Amino acid sequence: MVYTISGNGNNRSVEKSEQKWCLWKEVVLAVLVNIPFFTNGVETTMLTSSAHSGNFASHNGTQWTTAAMVVGAGASAPVMCYIIDAYGRMSGVFLVSMVQGITLIPHFLLNKNNMYPIEIVLHILSGISSGGLFTVLPIYLREITTLRGFSLTLMMAMTTAGYMTKIISIEVRLYLILGLVMVQFLSILMMVESPSYLVMVKKYEKARKNLSKLRVVTEDDPHISLEISNLKAESDKAKTVGKLSVRTVWRNKIWLDGTKIGVVLYTLTAICGSILFLDQQKTLMQLRVSSDPESMLVVSTLLLGSIFCLVCSTFVDRKYLLTAGYVTMTLSTGVLAVYTQADLTVTSLRWLPVTALGMLVFAYGIVWGLPVVIMVEVFNLEIRATLIGTIYAYSQIIKLLHVQTFQYIEDYIGVYTTFYIFACINLFGVVYTLFAVPNIRNKSVRQIERQLKRPALPA
């Protein structure tokens, strides 16, 4: 099997050599690192909000809890990303598990007398853990594994699998979270610091040692030397620009275009309509039936979409998965717009809106985590944490504005009109993703940056 790495602007390859990476170890490590996403999914079933714009758990109309979670996530993400740049990626992994453990305390303190203040505290803590979860862990996974398609999209399947635990009792879920947090702390003992971070701080020998552990080869293996060399080149290239700031990002057109892509993709995810279509009862209100009081159609199709994304990401570029997801969401949202008209009582083809909702949520299951996956691939290791933390904080501001204003918009223009608006937003997502997002699969940062490089204007 030929193993090829490109770097320093020149194509260099290690030809006719065996790829010695230990596949099973990378899979096990990916699962261990992704356990906090499953923990987050289990906990979400007991909250009034979720990591998405919409709520599909036990919504009770308490808007302050949703706001508390979004604010907690937006405030914690830049802080967590600063910590992992200053003290290492493992410090962030530890903090996420610690906050998830602390979040258990309010669950056990809840009673009828303190319900409101404890729920606020609970959602703030859950938001803080989410802010680290969807920034720190994807960055760490990106930097320690060669199975990036599998490892990064696994977070989507693990999160949505956690939502399925709503079918078991609350007490069982609480103790399940407790057990998962204990497993997370034990698994940290099996992890090592990211070689990319160690190269950033110029600890090259330690980086070589950790990389050899991750790849299960000796430190003097030529593949290790080549990968360390490429990481050094990537780091040195970024440092020549100067200290990271708004000015340096603005002047570096590749970084600026990467940031623009992140802003657009995160915005599309926040306002794609999940705040409406994840509410199954409202979406299918014209059917006037309650055959699925637990909204299992939503959580099951969301899980299936995430699993489909996980499987396909190993051989399909994330760009085309995202495009296909937006195409399906556009068509399904259009169908639901017709079937949610205020004066329409559905008496025939009643299966069509149910099928459309299932396809819509299935497509959203493919789409919702891919912006995170794409952005951790796009950015240089020196700027990765800072820019992802900043973009994530921006997305939470958009989400907060969206959540707080949506009900007023819905009351003014009606449900079916909002579906038409969301169909237009998703259609824009199709066009933008197809023409602006670079190819990611099996590409190095340098190769991705070449796709973002603007061609020179003719004289």
Pick the range with the lowest mean pLDDT from 189-203, 250-264, 278-292, 355-369. Answer: 278-292
- Which helix (H) or strand (E) segment holds residue 5: the answer is strand 3-7
Higher pLDDT, 177 or 18: 177
Query: pTM value?
Result: 0.89
**pLDDT value at 333 more than 90:** yes
Q: What is the pLDDT of residues 119-139, one digit of tens each?
A: 888 889 999 999 999 999 999
Q: What is the DSSP string of 320-365?
A: HHHHHHHHHHHHHHHHHHHHT-TT----S-THHHHHHHHHHHHHHH
Picking from 387, 443, 446, the residue whose alpha carbon sits closest to that of residue 237 is 446
Q: Taking the alpha carbons of 50, 51, 56, 57 in that order, is the dihedral positive or negative?
A: negative
Structure token digits, residue 354: 């149910």
What's the residue count for the chain?
A: 459
Amino acid at the residue 294: E
More confident residue, 60 or 262: 262
Is residue 343 exposed (0-12), middle (13-18) or buried (19+ Cβ within 10 Å)? exposed
Looking at the predicted structure, is the pLDDT value of residue 7 above 50?
A: no
Considering only CA atoms, which of 277, 321, 316, 313 is closest in space to residue 298?
277
The reported pLDDT for the residue numbered 384 is 94
Confidence bin at 58 (pLDDT 50/70/90): very low
Contact between 97 and 36 (Cβ < 8 Å): yes
Q: Which domains does the chain have, with CATH numbers?
A: 20-239 (1.20.1250.20), 246-452 (1.20.1250.20)
